Amino acid sequence: MNMTHYMSLLTDNQPWNLILFMAIPVIFAETITVTEFIILFTKNLKGPLRAFNRVCSILAGLYFTGIFLYLLFTAFIPLTANGEWHTWVDVLAVSSYLSGVIFLLPLALLDLGLIARKHSDEKKLKLHFILISGFLVVAHIAMIFGMVNPEIMGSMGSMNH
């Protein structure tokens, strides 16, 4: 079966690429989401769980920004410049994955106190929840379209494996 560059990235160099590009960001996002729900339901905006949530958010945002920069220059730009995309599904999968930086970087900046400084704790928590939710949406879009065989969407011409 032919695959998108997203899926190819995850299957190459097993298990390291899967861990570095999928497991770590998703585990961070799920941890942030679960702790966020607990914080929202208990309305405990201070304390060790919120501190853990903040640390995870900062680490996730900085880590994913590193992934974004790495893949932007080693994959996205070269694939675009050389016309090597495997149909629109491939572009959508990789672009969705990389767009996660739009949500995780501001999440880190929020918890570092670099943005939304004058917002109330409740407003910050709402923004926090929106950002982590946005990341989960684009990550799932990337996963779904990344698993599609791009050949069913049209001709792939000369595809390098």
Q: How far apart are CA 63 and CA 35, in angstroms?
A: 19
47: DSSP letter: S
pLDDT of res. 155:
61
Complete DSSP assignment for 98-109: HTTHHHHHHHHH
Q: How far apart are CA 62 and CA 161, in angstroms?
A: 31
Q: Which two tokens stand for residue 128?
A: 């926090």
User: Taking Cα atoms as reference points, which of 145, 152, 149 lies closest to residue 96?
Assistant: 145
Longest CA span, the chain: 56
pLDDT along the chain (161 residues), means of 10: 88 94 97 95 92 98 98 97 94 97 98 96 93 97 94 64 44
pLDDT of res. 161:
44
pLDDT of res. 1:
58
φ, ψ for residue 75, nearest 5 deg:
-130, -60
Q: Does the global pTM surpass 0.85?
A: yes
